[in-house]
Chains A and B, each alone.
Chain A
Amino acid sequence: MITPAIPKSWYLPSKPHKFCPGCGHGIVLKALGEVIDELEIQDKTVFGCDIGCSLLSWNFFACDSTQTHHGRTTPVMVGIKRARPELITIGYMGDGGGYSIGSQHLLNSAVRNEKVTLILVNNTNYGMTGGQMAPTTLPGQKTETTPYGRDPEKTGYPTKGPEFLAELTPEGAYIARATVSKYKQLKRFLKNALRNQMEGNGFSFVEVLSTCPTNWRTNAQQTWHFLEEEMEPVFPVGELKSPFGKGGDK
């Protein structure tokens, strides 16, 4: 019998999942599920999701999951890790929860080099509430609250999270930016981030550039074009800080 190519750690009765057609969350969570399978950490993983579109992943995995206040996934995960250091904690959030509402928690746990893994999905807007401007909205991009395009004179330039976290964190941290259009690289970065936590080196953070066809008002072709031609030049993809060194990501 042919079964779908889904990771073992996915919770099958909740599929098909509740994300919109073409949403990048499914690709990120598929990569994360495959990495959890490969590292065989399903029974000791705690998965925490934020408010926003990312909360639709609350029943995504067949592992312990929790859902927190907006932006407060980071401190909850840090608390779980401090109480039970043998567990693997994964915080999963969107760019609004991570960079605007939860930026204080993100920043301070990075400074303290907490041994948690955080995954931040960047789709350049607040998807669940209808596509308002987020800290990561590109200059000139039209959203619900910037109908004439984002004006950097008034609202500033997009937040580059991995760049500032790479400056703040001490040695041992793992900071990277991936994109859903390069699946194998995304999987490698997520695996490195989890390995970094398992080895106890320090803070692990991966920002993933993702798609949002519903709020970008794009078809499939324009979605890939926006992600690859407009987002990736503004947000360069790659590892910014890695304790494994270059090429040490076996």
Chain B
Amino acid sequence: MVKKQLEPLTTPMEKANFHIFPDFCKGCGLCKEKCPNDVLIWSEKLGVYGTPIVKPKDEESCIACLICEMVCPDAAIYIEKKRGKKAV
């Protein structure tokens, strides 16, 4: 069994750090459509099936509600909340 190198792509934002694992992301877009603030956009990086992965468009609009992390069927997204920053 080949051991997977799980290296996330990290985007620091105001309320949280956005981590995405390109080895897991299949580019289905469910997170992008479910996001209440339309934070996520398509990125130029490719995921495991050769489809674009998502990235946050800017640093301010994410409210760290964790909905994208919950609805990702592949557990590719991990939101690391910053201490002392409350979700709105």
Contacts and interface: CB of A to CB of B under 8 A. Distances in A.
A binds B: yes
Interface of A: 2-6, 10, 12-13, 15-17, 19-27, 30, 180-181, 183-184, 211, 213, 219-221, 223-224
B28 to A, nearest CB: 3
B73 A26 contact: yes
Contacts of A220: 28-30, 32-33
Nearest to B73: A26
Given A4-B21, A4-B76, A5-B69, A21 B28 contact: yes
8 contacts: A3-B78, A4-B8, A15-B4, A22-B26, A22-B30, A30-B73, A183-B70, A211-B30
Interface residues on B, range: 20 to 34
B75 to A, nearest CB: 4
A197 B76 CA distance: 31
Nearest to A7: B75
Contacts of A13: 1, 4
A24 B23 CA distance: 19
A26 B10 CA distance: 23
A22 B26 CA distance: 8
Contacts of A22: 26, 28-30, 73
Interface of B: 1, 4, 6, 8, 10, 19, 21, 23-24, 26-30, 32-34, 48-49, 51, 67, 69-78, 80
A16 B26 contact: yes
A228 B14 CA distance: 31
Contact of B71 (A6, A10, A183): A183
Contacts of B75: 4-6, 10, 15, 26, 30
